[in-house]
Amino acid sequence: MSVVKFIIDGVECIAEKGEYLLQAARQNGIYIPSLCHLEGYKPRGSCRICNVKVNGRLMTACTTPVADGMDIENDTPELRDIRTAILEILFVEGNHFCPACERSGNCELQAQIYRHQIMAPRFPFQFPDRDVDASHPNILKDYNRCILCKRCIRAIKDENGKSFFAFKKRSHKVEISMDPTMKENLTEELAQRAMEVCPVGALLRKEKGYDTPIGKRKYDKQPIGSEIETAK
C-alpha cells in the first residue's frame, strides 16, 4: 500500500494512492459536499456539487483519484457559490415541497440546502409538469422530486446485472424510466434498497414512507457532513 500526501485548504492530509478525493478527504475529517455520490458504486460526477479546485483546476472530488502533492481548494467563496448555485438549480428544476414530502429530514437535497444556508433560490422556479407513477406494487416513483443523480440506475440491478432504471431522452427533457417488463422482479428488498439509495423522496417503498417520525430523522438534529467533521 502506498501512501500519498496532499493538501486541502492548507491542511496536510494522507490517503492511500488511488483513493477518490471525496473519500480521502472524509478519512481526513474534511467534508466535501456531495449528492450523486453513493458509497460502494462507481462515481458518476453528475451533480457537480463536489467540485473542488485541484492545482487550480475545477474537478469533481468523487471521480478524481488523489495523487501525491495535490493542492486542493475546498471551502472557498468561489466553490461555495458554485455549490449553492447548483443546489438552487436542482431545487427550482423539480417540484420540491418539503413540508409534504415523506423524505423530509432524511432528504440529502434538503440537508445540503440547509448546510449551505439557502433561504431562497436566485433562479426562477420552473414548476415542471411531472408524473407520479404508482403502478408498481412495491414502489412509488414521484418524478417531481427526482434530481437525476443516477444512484438508482447504478445501484438497483437484478441477479444478472440487468437494470431496473435508466435515463431516457436528453437535455432538460431527460428523465428516469423504470423497466416495465421487470416489474415482477423488483422485490420488496430491492424496493427498500431503491428508497434508501434515492437521496430525495423520488422513490418510495409503498406503505413505508413515514417509518421514522419527523424530529427523529437523520438530518433533523445536525447538518449533513457534520459527523465527518466532528470525527476529526
Q: Which amino acid is at 115?
A: R
Distances, alpha carbon 25 to alpha carbons 15, 18, 111, 180, 228, in Å = 8, 13, 20, 40, 10
Judge contact between 1 and 15, C-beta under 8 A.
no
Q: Name the grid cell of 222.
A: 445536525
Q: Which of 110, 138, 148 is nearest to 194 (CA)?
A: 138
Under the criterion CB under 8 A, does residue 204 sit at the interface with other proteins? no
Q: Minimal distance in Å, beta carbon 81 to other proteins?
A: 8
Q: Minimal distance in Å, beta carbon 230 to other proteins?
A: 28
Distances, alpha carbon 116 to alpha carbons 5, 48, 81, 111, in Å = 29, 15, 9, 9
For other proteins, the binding residues in 84-113 under the rule CB under 8 A are 85-86, 89-90, 92-93
Q: Smaller CB distance to other proteins: residue 5 or 162?
A: 162
Q: How many residues bind other proteins (CB under 8 A)?
A: 47
Judged by CB under 8 A, the residue of 73, 75, 80, 82 near other proteins is 82
* Window 136-155: contact mask with other proteins (x via CB under 8 A): -----------xx-------
Q: What is the DSSP letter of 65?
A: B
Under the criterion CB under 8 A, does residue 183 sit at the interface with other proteins? no
Judged by CB under 8 A, the residue of 61, 146, 155, 178 near other proteins is 178
Which range touches other proteins (CB under 8 A), out of 9-17, 81-89, 96-104, 135-143? 81-89
How far is 230 from 232, CA to CA, in rounded Å?
Answer: 5
How far is 32 from 75, CA to CA, in rounded Å?
Answer: 8
Positive or negative, the CA dihedral 24, 25, 26, 28 is positive
Under the criterion CB under 8 A, does residue 173 sit at the interface with other proteins? yes
Under the criterion CB under 8 A, does residue 118 sit at the interface with other proteins? no
Judged by CB under 8 A, the residue of 45, 209, 218, 223 near other proteins is 45
Q: Smaller CB distance to other proteins: residue 52 or 102?
A: 52
Phi first, then psi: give them for residue 157, nearest 5 degrees: -135, 160
Judged by CB under 8 A, the residue of 177, 209, 218, 228 near other proteins is 177
Rounded to 5 degrees, what angle do the CA atoms 12, 14, 19 make? 130
Q: Minimal distance in Å, beta carbon 178 to other proteins?
A: 7
How far is 2 from 33, CA to CA, in rounded Å?
Answer: 26
Please give the residue ranges that form the binding site for other proteins (CB under 8 A). Answer: 43-49, 51, 58, 60, 63-65, 81-82, 85-86, 89-90, 92-93, 122-124, 126, 147-148, 160, 162-174, 177-182
